[in-house]
Amino acid sequence: MNKKLVKEFLIITFVIMLIFWGGCALISQIFNLTINNIFLRIMHIIGGFSPTIASYISLKRNNKVKNLKEWLKKIFDIKHNIWTYILVILFVLIYYVLGCAINGFKFGAPIFMLIVILPMMLFGGGNEEVGWRMILQPELEKKFGFHIATIFTSIIWWLWHLPIFFIIGTANANMNYFLFGIMCLTLCYALATIRKVSKGVFPCILTHCLINGLSAIFVFNYSLLSCCITLIVTIIVSILILNINKRYIR
């Protein structure tokens, strides 16, 4: 594990997050302002890009990329086999089929709006993957192995989200933080599996974008039961996929 790279990535990520999301949460709570305030909206967006910004800075400082062009090339590595993209669809289906079946759901935006929503999610979640799954997860795996690295990544990811639960008007403000933690672990298993199989970050970005984007179309309330069942199923599927990939595909 490259300790220097991981340390720099996490420090930069959390410093930016605390300045912008932490500041945003304080202003929101003190002055009773919602995320619809343009100033808070800008702070919220910048804070969300903290892993993205930290990814480029830390990789460049550690001579892992020479310039912005090389960094972007690593990110948008879209040439993967069909198996990788089947996994993307599989994990998205597990997340939504179980969530909708257990909790019930209602339709939000028309499904064709996904064409518009999906690219927008590059700036609303997908961008994070160039940090969590391009640096943190694979580096932690070198020292701790897949499962422990995934748990550590999910805890860090969960803590990173904490300030936005105090920003009035965000989707997270109305969520249970501990149920969200279970969801973080679920998604970390799915994304870590996709990352390990594909060796790339773009499929992780696509998965994150789809999961965030589809939440505007298939609307359901999370419950402890659905979160736990989805987590268990995701872990089982992840283990099966990694074994299949190791024995028959690679």
Rounded CA-CA distance 155/145 in Å is 16
- Residue 250 pLDDT more than 70? no
H, E, C per residue of 203-237: HHHHHHHHHHHHCCCEECCCCHHHHHHHHHHHHHH
The token duo for 82 is 């069909």
Assign 193 to helix, strand or coil.
Answer: helix
The token duo for 76 is 């948008």
pLDDT of residue 210: 94
Partners of 218 in the beta sheet?
A: 107
The token duo for 120 is 């927008």
Prediction pTM value: 0.93
Residue 13: CB atoms within 10 Å? 26
Residue 229: CB atoms within 10 Å? 16
Q: What is the pLDDT of residues 118-128, one digit of tens each?
A: 888 888 888 99
- H or E element, residue 10: helix 3-17
Q: What is the pLDDT of residues 163-185, one digit of tens each?
A: 999 999 998 888 999 999 999 99
Mean pLDDT of 194-206: 95
Partners of 106 in the beta sheet?
A: 219
Domain spans of the chain? 3-249
- Residue 211 pLDDT more than 90? yes
Rounded CA-CA distance 153/141 in Å is 10
Assign 125 to helix, strand or coil.
Answer: coil
